[in-house]
Structure 1
Amino acid sequence: MTNTQYPTGKPHPNRLIIAISSRVLFDLRESHQIFEEQGVEAFSAYQVERENDILPKGEAFSLVEKFLQINERLPGEPRVEVILLSRNSADTGLRVFNSIEHYGLNISRAAFCNGGSPYRYISPFGCHLFLSTDGEDVRRALEQGVAAATLIPGGARERGDEVLRFAFDGDAVLFSDEAEQIFKRDGLDAFTSAERASAKKPLQGGPFKGFLETLQQLQAEFDPEDCPIRTALVTARSAPAHERVIRTLRAWNIRIDESMFLGGLPKGEFLRAFGADVFFDDQPVHCASASAHVATGHVPHGIANQGK
């Protein structure tokens, strides 16, 4: 395990920090089933008895591994960090840390909450992104103004290179859901007319705007021809609704490496062609489709998730 020493004071101002739950880093389905069926005591006994058994890799393992490798590409103080936030106790979490050490992941900071929700530690750790399997924890993180998503099992793939690829939906993820509200309320024609009329008016930021801004600051430290991070916008929008998106990103001074305006086509094949390590979308139906191809995070934000 790489022994990177983190300073005891405030993190580097440009450090990018991701918080993850133990259930997205490792495959804990078997032990979680014991927890659901037999309770906390049986779960604790199961984990302690097997604390030296290495856990299988989970949905976010490849993403975390690539993310941490970025520190090897930049001199000086580490510029990225992964924080473990877990509902386990420290006692049962020993198996998780033993597995982290086995795989050589440089993760040294954690909060074990013994059954409680760990979302309240996201802000004290200064996290920019939170990934979990617990939808309620994710919603509470979003309420705190932190980009967050519920990772859907099924689509994680081992990629053949070290480039970390993030893909984002537009409305209600990078942007506010102001345009999507018109679409849901009045239909496609009204949405198209409203977007054409507002083409030069930037959209408001969505829950992932801040994360994308911090990610781009990190990208800027690399030669564009040799950057280990790529980003993509993958949206159901099409012309003429594309113009407002382009002008919004320009007004924010944010560069997206690739943009796909699909006009309602399924996103999965495009995400697989991009090689996304993770894709973020607010609409459950799009997440279900994408998760067959790539690791997918549902962002429970905006009008598409009201009442759910």
Structure 2
Amino acid sequence: MAMRPDKLVIAISSRALFDLNDSHKVFEELGLQAFSRYQVERENDVLQKGDAFHLVEKFLKINEQLEGEPRVEVILLSRNSADTGLRVFNSIEHYGLDITRAAFCNGESPYRYIGPFGCNLFLSTDGLDVRRALDQGVAAATLVAGGSREQRDDVLRFAFDGDAVIFSDEAEQIFKRDGLDAFTRAERASAQMPLGGGPFKGFLEALQTLQAEFGLESCPIRTALVTARSAPAHERVIRTLRAWDIRVDESVFLGGLPKGEFLRAFGADVFFDDQPAHCASAAEHVATGHVPHGIANIANSDA
């Protein structure tokens, strides 16, 4: 799938951008017609901000710091119809978000438009749509409710787990199958051999390209690797990023400690992890996206 080299594009579902819990409950309990009436009757009522709202707001502000054509874009992908989606667009206008492109699919999955729009990242509350996007080779995550926090500045902070997110899950497979000692021995033996790329490698590369347009002191984007790895398993990670020519601003090797407090200290606007249990814990502190990829999700296909 071809990305748009001139832009960094995030696709987001309407339920990730806004709090649509009430209307979704109407849909689940009373059906599509009742849902449509509910939305049309309230189309001038502004929706409350959803878990990804502040992330999107900060992302769009990046364009204000660069001259020329906008370098970042947000695409709205929604299961609403255009008719019921009018409330969503009215809310976008109310909050002053520069979102002009959208696909309204009237109950069908919108994931199929990720490719034509050239998206680098897809954020949704629908796990099935996220898996389909990952199958297309697009970085994607299911937002876990409850962790959004409005940050105190305009710097956009992305935090990533390592294995099965930035990197492949080849090392994690050994850990799951043979335990920590076997994992440590294997990583020590393979320290000079770069890991394979995971689903977020391309997105991290695109972020770095955008970061390069700013000076170090003025860059509005910071990245962090926050991983359960510890020494000596850190070496392969460092050498892999070096081999890829990818720089992350901060790297935290936790050796199995809970990640939540560290993510809050970093000030993460969003954290991406493949492990459902880690996501649930992190979501108590920061907005969190579950990446349903790799061996940790084989037995959690509905997580």
TM-score under structure 1 length normalisation = 0.96
Let me know the Cα RMSD of the aligned residues. 1.0
The one of 108, 115, 140 equivalent to 1:148 is: 140
The one of 122, 129, 154 equivalent to 2:114 is: 122
Contact between 1:14 and 1:217, CA under 8 Å: does it hold in 2?
no
Q: Please give the alpha-carbon distance, in whole angstroms, between the structure 2 residues aligned to 1:144 and 1:13.
A: 18
Q: Please give the alpha-carbon distance, in whole angstroms, between the structure 2 residues aligned to 1:152 and 1:115.
A: 22
Q: Structure 1 segments of 4 or more deviating over 2 A?
A: 10-14
Q: Please give the alpha-carbon distance, in whole angstroms, between the structure 1 residues aligned to 2:59 and 2:124.
A: 17
Q: Please give the alpha-carbon distance, in whole angstroms, between the structure 2 residues aligned to 1:217 and 1:278.
A: 19
Aligned partner of residue 32 in structure 1, secondary structure: helix
Aligned partner of residue 189 in structure 1, secondary structure: helix
Contact between 1:12 and 1:79, CA under 8 Å: does it hold in 2?
no
Aligned partner of residue 296 in structure 2, secondary structure: helix
Which residue of structure 1 aligns with residue 72 of structure 2? 80
TM-score under structure 2 length normalisation = 0.98
Q: How does 1:265-276 map to 2 (within 5 A)?
A: 265-276=257-268
Contact between 1:242 and 1:261, CA under 8 Å: does it hold in 2?
yes
1:163 aligned to 2:158?
A: no
1:27 aligned to 2:19?
A: yes
Aligned partner of residue 286 in structure 1, secondary structure: helix
Question: Unaligned stretches of 5+ in structure 2?
Answer: none
Shift of 1:12: 6.2
Aligned partner of residue 262 in structure 2, secondary structure: helix
The one of 184, 198, 202 equivalent to 2:194 is: 202
Contact between 1:176 and 1:205, CA under 8 Å: does it hold in 2?
yes
The one of 274, 277, 286 equivalent to 1:285 is: 277
Shift of 1:225: 1.0
Shift of 1:11: 8.9
Residues 76 and 11 of structure 1, relative CA distance in 2, 3 Å threshold = farther
Residues 247 and 11 of structure 1, relative CA distance in 2, 3 Å threshold = closer
Q: Please give the alpha-carbon distance, in whole angstroms, between the structure 1 residues aligned to 2:217 and 2:191.
A: 31
Which residue of structure 1 aligns with residue 239 of structure 2? 247
What one-letter code is carried by the residue in structure 2 that aligns with 1:88?
N
Which residue of structure 2 aligns with residue 174 of structure 1? 166
Which residue of structure 1 aligns with residue 34 of structure 2? 42
1:65 aligned to 2:53?
A: no
Q: How does 1:99-114 map to 2 (within 5 A)?
A: 99-114=91-106
1:183 aligned to 2:181?
A: no
What one-letter code is carried by the residue in structure 1 that aligns with 2:231?
A
Identity, in percent, stands at 82
What one-letter code is carried by the residue in structure 2 that aligns with 1:85?
L
Aligned partner of residue 242 in structure 2, secondary structure: helix
Q: Please give the alpha-carbon distance, in whole angstroms, between the structure 1 residues aligned to 2:120 and 2:3.
A: 13
Q: Please give the alpha-carbon distance, in whole angstroms, between the structure 2 residues aligned to 1:270 and 1:125.
A: 35
Aligned partner of residue 226 in structure 1, secondary structure: coil
The one of 121, 126, 130 equivalent to 1:134 is: 126
Q: Please give the alpha-carbon distance, in whole angstroms, between the structure 1 residues aligned to 2:91 and 2:30.
A: 24
Q: Please give the alpha-carbon distance, in whole angstroms, between the structure 1 residues aligned to 2:299 and 2:258.
A: 25
Q: Please give the alpha-carbon distance, in whole angstroms, between the structure 2 residues aligned to 1:35 and 1:128.
A: 30
Aligned partner of residue 224 in structure 1, secondary structure: coil
The one of 211, 223, 242 equivalent to 1:231 is: 223
Shift of 1:13: 2.3
